[in-house]
Every structure is written in C-alpha cells, then in structure tokens.
A and B are shown apart, each in its own frame.
Chain A
C-alpha cells in the first residue's frame, strides 16, 4: 500500500488534478457553443415551433368555422324542410276544403236546378191541364150540344139556354168526380 502510494506520488499526477488548459478549452468551447445556440439555433427552432403552432391553431380554427358553417346550412335545410311540409299540409287542407266547398256548391246547385225543373214541370202541367180542361170543356160542350141537338132536334139551338144547361151538367160531373176522388 505504502509502496503504491509512493508510486502514485512519484507519478506526480493525481487523477483528480486537472490540466488547466483543458479546463480553459472546455470553458471556451462551452461559451462558443452557447453563443451559437442562443444566437442561431434556439431562435430558429422557436420560430419553427411558433409557426407550426400557429398553423395548427389556424387549421383548427378553419375546421371549426367550416363545421359551424355546415351546421348552419343543416339547420337552414331542416327549417326549409319543415316550412315545405307545413306549406304542403296547408295546401292539402286548402284543397280539401275547396273540394268540399265545390261539392257542396254543386249539390246545392243541382238541388236548386232539380227544384226549378220540377216547379217548372208542375206549372206547365197545371197550365196544360187548365188548357186541356178549358178546351175539353168547350169541346165536350160542343160535342154534347151537337150530340144532344142531333138527338132532340133543333129545340136546343138557343145558345144561352144550352150553355147554361151544359155548365150545370159539367158542374155536376165535377162534383161527382171530386167526391169519387175523395172517397177513393
């Protein structure tokens, strides 16, 4: 041990004894490197990082804007769809109401028309009946007078008398036919 210690002492260098030139070179090297790092390397890297962050954030903002736009468009389309449905329903309702109205109108018109036609028919029938009655009365009177005068000769030529007789006869005929209708 002692021998070794002496030998180490004789060698003159402890492993812990620095070479001061190496010390200085290391200091200088560190200083130079740090200067380069501060002056060139770090600003360049930081600039790139910032640009990248900005680009990513810009991209995100853009994507968000696009998303918002798409959502707005979707909302708009949905609204339009709802509007269109409402419109369609409204139109359908209107058409239905209109159809019903038209139908009712037509029915009313048809009823009025039929009423009018039947009324007209009644009037015409009545008029024709009256005409028929009048003409019948005249004709029957004439026929009966002719017949009677032929049967009894010219005794019945006096107009006034004959028409009185015929009227009485027809009135009797009417009352008997009416009482017969009532009895029926």
Chain B
C-alpha cells in the first residue's frame, strides 16, 4: 500500500501515477452529499455493475434453461456446458458423495457471479472488475466462510471445532503448537486469503492496465517525440498484460469456486481429515 502510494509523492516530476482512489469512480448518485446524512450511501459504478452482473447471469441462464430440449440448441448447449462444468468438475469431483447437489447452487452462483464481475474488467467502458473493491470480495468470502462453518457445525455439532483444529495422529506433546496454528490457519487465514486472493489479483490487474493507460496518455501529451514513440511499446506491453488479465480473471473465478468447494468438503468430512 505504501509502495502504491509512493508515485503520488513524486508529483513534481510530472507523471502522476493512478492510485487506488482512481479505481473508485465517482458516485453516480451522491446521496450523502445531497441530503447531508451521516452515512453516505453513494451509489457507485461498482454497485451498478454488480447488479448488472446479476441481471446478465440470470437472463442468460433463464433463457438457456427455458426450453428442455433433448437435443440442445446453441444457447441451451452453452448454458448446459457451463452448468455441467460447475456441477461435475467442481461439485461432483471435489465434494462428491450423495449430497453434493445441495451445494451446487452455491458453487454455481459463486462461479458465474465472480466470473462475470471479473470479466467486466476486460470490457471497454465497464473496465472495472467488481471484486477489485474489497467490500465485494469480503462479502462473497464471508458467505462461504459462514456456509462451511455452518455445514461443519450442522454435520458434527460443536465437536466440529475440535475436529477442525486437532489433527488426528499427532503426538500429544506437539498439540500445543499445532492447535493454535490450525486455529489461525483454518478460521482466520483461510477466509482472509479467500477474499484477498480475489480482491488483490483483480485490483493489481486493474491497476496495471490503468497505469499503462495513464502512462501512454502522459507520454503522448508531453510532445516529446521519443516519449511518444516509446508509448507504442507501453501500449504493446499493456495489451499483453490485458490478455494476461483476462486469463487471471477466469482463473480466479475458478480458483475461488474450487477453494469454496474444498472448504465445504473439508467441513463435511471433518472427521476423515
């Protein structure tokens, strides 16, 4: 965070790098300012995009699943493939057993919610991955944190916490070291990394593209022919980074869902671990 703030301290040198603040576009509806209330429920671009993603995902899958044709059309096939991917490759393979279907809606919703919101970062004009804002990342990670802890307690009762933090087969004299590590690892680090992994990769990718964009703008505006020429290289680099970002956006949606499935499976079978 300090490193990110550093370029801002060098304002005198001419180039002002974009900061975290620049990823927060000004509110579309600045209610707080208008009404002078103590809280500011500013309705920003990010929130609009979250809602847009819900509308897009719901619309696509409602259309794709509307006609139950045995031989699917293009849209139905695409929807079925997407659904089947989460259902089988993540739900069935990771959670498995008889009752994995109970958790498929969580995984399915999470995967496409995260995926579409990430992909927003690669679409011109939208150009903002929703999960580069920490609030959203915390929210979706919190949902799964509560879900898998709830599953563990429902399945094993309060004994779940003992099962989760006391590994079987460890000698008693090591337990004083292992148990605190397990508590920190399972109940603190796990949800934090679950959210921060998504948030940080999205923010980093977004910042790189923003940085490249503002750098190109600065270079072109200097009027220095050498800098203007160099801006072409920056543009090429930015395009390569953009492609990499698209890959990371898809990958992070998969990783987030996969980890959620692994956590659910761990809570379901806490006694077997």
Q: Do A and B bind each other?
A: yes
| Chain B positions 53 through 78: 1 when the CB is less than 8 Å from some CB of chain A, otherwise 0 | 11001100110011011101000100
Instruction: Specify which chain B residues have a CB less than 8 angstroms from the CB of A181 in the assembled complex.
Output: none
Shortest Cβ gap from A15 to chain B (Å): 5
**Chain A residues positioned under 8 Å from B58 (CB to CB):** 32-33, 36, 41
Residues from chain B with Cβ under 8 Å of A173 in the complex: none
Q: Which of B1-9, B152-160, B181-189, B230-238 lies on the face that meets chain A?
A: B1-9
Task: Flag whether A8 is at the interface (Cβ < 8 A).
Answer: yes
Do residues A21 and B83 form an inter-chain contact, with CB atoms below 8 A?
A: no
Q: Is A160 an interface residue (CB 8 A)?
A: no
Contact in complex: B47, A21 (CB < 8 Å): yes
Q: Does A7 contact B (CB under 8 A)?
A: yes
Q: Once the chains are docked, how many angstroms separate the CA of A151 from the CA of B9?
A: 199
Stretch at the interface among A44-52, A70-78, A79-87, A100-108: A44-52
Contacts of A25 in B (CB 8 A): 47, 50-51, 136
* Contact yes or no, B65 A48, CB < 8 A: yes
Q: Does B140 contact A (CB under 8 A)?
A: yes
Flag the segment in B105-113, B118-126, B172-180 that touches A. Answer: B105-113
Smallest CB separation, A56 vs chain B (Å): 9
Residues of A within 8 A of B142 (CB): 27
Question: In the complex, are the beta carbons of A22 and B21 less than 8 A apart?
Answer: no
The answer to whether the Cβ of B239 comes within 8 Å of any Cβ in the partner chain is no
The number of A-B residue pairs with CB atoms under 8 Å apart is: 138
Contact with A along B18-60 (1 / 0, CB 8 A): 0111001000000000000000011110110011011001100
Report whether B70 and A33 are in contact in the complex, using a CB–CB cutoff of 8 Å.
Answer: no
CA distance A48 to B19 in the complex (A): 49
Q: Please encode chain A, from 33 to 47, with 1 for each CB lying within 8 Å of some chain B CB and 0 for all others.
A: 110111011101101
Q: CA–CA, A34 to B57, complex, Å?
A: 11
Separation of A48 and B61 alpha carbons in the complex (Å): 13
Whole-angstrom CA separation of A16 from B198 in the bound complex: 12
Contact indicator per residue, chain A 3-15, by CB within 8 Å of chain B (1) or not (0): 1110110010111
- One of A16, A33, A48 near B57 (C-beta < 8 A): A33
Asked if B203 lies at the interface with its beta carbon under 8 angstroms from chain A, I say: yes
Tell me, in angstroms, the Cα distance from A34 to B143 when the chains sit together: 12
A30 at the A/B interface (Cβ < 8 Å)? yes
Which A-B residue pairs are the 5 nearest by beta carbons?
Answer: A22-B135, A18-B135, A44-B65, A26-B139, A23-B135
Task: Contacts A13-B24, A16-B1, A23-B135 known; list 6 others, CB within 8 Å.
Answer: A14-B1, A16-B196, A25-B50, A27-B142, A48-B70, A51-B68
Q: Which A residues fall within an 8 A CB radius of B? A: 1, 3-5, 7-8, 11, 13-27, 29-30, 32-34, 36-38, 40-42, 44-45, 47-49, 51-52, 55
Query: What are 21 pairs between A and B in contact, CB < 8 Å?
Result: A3-B9, A5-B5, A15-B4, A18-B138, A19-B46, A21-B41, A22-B133, A22-B135, A26-B139, A29-B113, A33-B58, A33-B113, A34-B106, A36-B61, A36-B62, A37-B109, A38-B105, A41-B83, A44-B66, A48-B69, A49-B80
